[in-house]
Amino acid sequence: MEKKSKTQNRDIGDTTCKKQGMDYLWLALTAFGGLGLEAVYAFALEPMIYGCEMRDWNTWQTLLHWTVTCVTWGFVAWYTIRKAKRDCGFDLFKKGGSVRLWQWIAAIGCAAICLASTYIDWQGSKLLIEFMQLGALKFIFQYIYYLFEVVLFMLIIVYGQKAFEVWFRKANIPYGGIVVALTWGMAHWFTKGTLAAGLYSAFGGFCFGAMYLLLNRDIKRTYAALCVMFIL
C-alpha cells in the first residue's frame, strides 16, 4: 500500500483540527444561545403571557421567570457537557494541575480588580444592596439564578478556549475570555441598553477567561472563583 506523503498527512491533520475547533466553537455558541433564551422569555414570551412588561411583573411572575430560566440554563449546560464528552472526548471535570504561587497571586489580583470595579459600579456592596432592594425571597432566587448564569458563561470560556487552542496551538492566551467578552458583553449591551454596560461586562468576561487559565483549567476551582468575582 502506498504511504501517504507528509503533505497529505498535514492536510488531513489541518482538516481534523479545523473540524474539532468548529465543534468546540459551536458548543461555546450553544452556551451563549442558552443565555440568550432568557431575553426571548423576558422580552417576547412572558410579556404576552402576563400582559405587562418585565418592569411591571409582580413577585411571583419574577420568581417564575428566574425558575424557568434556571431550568433552561441547566439543560443547556448538561447538553453541551454531554456533547463535548461524546463528540470531542473532552472531560470538563478533569482535575487541573497544581497552581503555582505566582498564579495564586495573579488570580487573587484579578479577583480583587473585579470586586473593586463591582463595588465602584454599585457604589457599595452589591450583595447588601440587592438584599435590601429585593427582600429575602427574591434575593434567594436571584442568587440561584446567578449561580446558573456563571455555569453558562464559564462554558463559553472553556469551549471558546479549546476552539482557538486547537486552531492556533497556543495555550497561554485567554481566547475564552475574548470570546465571552465579545458574546456576553454584547448581550449585556443589548439587554441593559447602554454601551457602558456592555464594555463593563466585556472587561469582566476577559478577566474571567484569564482566571480559567491561571487556575490551570480546573473547572471546580474556576467555578468557585467566578462565583466570587461575579456574584459578590
For residues 61-84, give the mean pLDDT. 96
**Is residue 205 very low, low, confident or very high in pLDDT (cuts 50, 70, 90)?**
confident
Q: What is the average pLDDT score of the chain? A: 87
Asked if the model's pLDDT at residue 190 lies above 80, the reply is no
Asked if the model's pLDDT at residue 4 lies above 60, the reply is no
pLDDT digits (tens, 9 = 90+) for 151-161: 999 999 999 99
Residue pair 225/111 in contact by the 8 Å Cβ criterion: yes
Winning range, highest mean pLDDT, from 19-33, 107-121, 144-158, 180-194: 144-158
pLDDT digits (tens, 9 = 90+) for 111-131: 999 899 889 888 999 999 999
pLDDT digits (tens, 9 = 90+) for 48-67: 999 999 889 999 999 999 99
| Separation CA 173–CA 209 (nearest Å) | 9
Predicted confidence at residue 192, as pLDDT, reads 66
**Is residue 32 very low, low, confident or very high in pLDDT (cuts 50, 70, 90)?**
very high
Whole-model pTM: value is 0.86
Residue pair 34/152 in contact by the 8 Å Cβ criterion: yes
Helix, strand or coil for residue 52? Answer: coil
Predicted confidence at residue 127, as pLDDT, reads 93
**Is residue 7 very low, low, confident or very high in pLDDT (cuts 50, 70, 90)?**
very low
For 61, counting Cβ atoms within 10 Å of its Cβ (0-12 exposed, 13-18 middle, 19+ buried), the class is: middle
Predicted confidence at residue 204, as pLDDT, reads 80
**Is residue 96 very low, low, confident or very high in pLDDT (cuts 50, 70, 90)?**
confident
| Separation CA 159–CA 32 (nearest Å) | 11
Phi-psi bin for 114: left (phi > 0), alpha (psi -120 to 50), beta?
alpha
